[in-house]
Amino acid sequence: VMITGSHNPPEFNGFKICIGNDTIYGEQIQELRKIMEGGQYSTGIASSALQDITAAYQNYIFDNVKITRKIKVAVDGGNGVGGHFALPILQRCGCEVIPLYCEPDGNFPNHFPDPTVEDNLTELIKIVREQKADLGIAFDGDADRLGVVSDKGEIIEGDKLLLLFAREILKEKPNSTIIAEVKCSQVLYDDIKKHSGRAIMWKAGHSLIKAKMKEEKALLGGEMSGHLFFADRYFGYDDAIYAAVRLLEILSQRGQKVSALLADVPQTFATPEIRIDCADDKKVKVVERIKKHFRNNPGLIEIDGVRIPFEDGWALVRSSNTQPVIVLRFEASSAGSLQKIRDEVEPLLII
C-alpha cells in the first residue's frame, strides 16, 4: 500500500494498493470496500520490517541508464518527494542540476505539484531560459508523473514525450508494442507505425494502461498527464524519476537538444483537456448521445467514451473515471478545422 494524495491539495490523501506487481482498481476496489464495511477481518499477531530502499533504487538507475555527457537540467520538485530522490541520482550521473522546490513539504507552499497545469511550470520555464539549461523537469507530488520544459522554455506534452521514447525503443527493438491513452495526438499513433511499431490506443487511467501493457507485453505506455510506463529495461510502472533519466540518456547519446529531436514532428492545433462539470448519473447518458449522433462515422472509436474521426482531425468525449466531469479534447491540422470540429460537437453537449 502506498499512501499518497499525489498532486491533490494537502487536505486530501489516499491509497494505491498493489497485489504483487498489479495495481487493484475498478471492481476490485469495490470488493475491498465490501470487506471493509462488513468488518469481518482476520485476527492475529502481525510482524513488520523497516527497509530503506533509497540506495538500491539509486544504484539500479545509475547502473542501468548511461548519461555520457554533462547536461544542465533544472528540476522543480514541487515540494513533493521527487526532488529528494532525483537530485542525488542526477548529480551522480554527472548532470549540472539547478534545484527548485526540491524539499518535501506537504503544505505545497509554492505551487501544487501538478506538472500538467501550465501556471505551475512558470518558474521552471523562467529558470530554463535565464540559466540556459538543456532541459527542465518537474514532478507531481508522488513522482509518478513527469513534466518537461524544452531548452527553448516550451512545455512538452505527455504524448510528445511518449513519441520520443517510442522512437528510441523502436530503433533497438522494432515491431514492439506501445500503448497510449485515447486522449493522445493522432500524430503519436502515426509516428509509432512509421517507425515500425505496433500502436494500441487504450483507456485513460494508470491502472488500466498498466494492465493493458502486461496483457499485450508492451515495452512502453503513456498518458497525456505525464504518466510514462517503461517495461523496456524497467518494471512496467510509472516512475517519473526513471523517465527523466531516460530522457537525459537520449539527449546525451544523440548530442542534441530536445527541441531539435522533436523538430520533425508535425505541428497540429489541439485543445488541452477540457473538463465540464456533469453529475455522475448524467455523464454516461451524454456520452451515449454523442455516440448515437456520430454512429455512422467510419472509424468511430468507442474504447473509452467516443473518439470521432473527421477528415482533418478528431474529437473526444468521455466521462471521467474519478469525478463528476465530462472530458473533451480536439485536434486538427489547422486552426480553422479545429474550430469547425468543435462547432460540430460542442452544441450536442446538453448537460
Q: Which residue in the list 6, 47, 333, 337 is annotated as catalytic?
A: 6
In the block, which residue shows the cell 506534452?
Answer: 157
| Beta sheet of 228-230, edge-to-edge order | 198-202, 177-181, 220-222, 228-230, 237-238
- Between CA 27 and CA 210 the distance in angstroms is 16
Per DSSP, the chain holds a count of helices (H) and strands (E) of: 11, 19
Which segments within the chain are labelled E, that is strand? 2-3, 15-16, 18-19, 22-23, 72-76, 96-100, 135-139, 146-149, 155-156, 177-181, 198-202, 220-222, 228-230, 237-238, 269-270, 274-277, 306-310, 313-319, 325-332
| C-alpha cell at position 179 | 500503448
Give the residue ranges of DSSP H helices in 103-150: 122-131
The gap between the terminal CA atoms of the chain, to the nearest Å, is 38
- Between CA 301 and CA 232 the distance in angstroms is 28
| C-alpha cell at position 110 | 509554492
6 is catalytic: yes
C-beta separation of 201 from 189 below 8 A: yes
- Between CA 98 and CA 75 the distance in angstroms is 6
- Between CA 159 and CA 47 the distance in angstroms is 43
With CA atoms as reference, report the closest residue to 301 among 179, 180, 206, 182: 182
- Give me the active site residues, please: 6
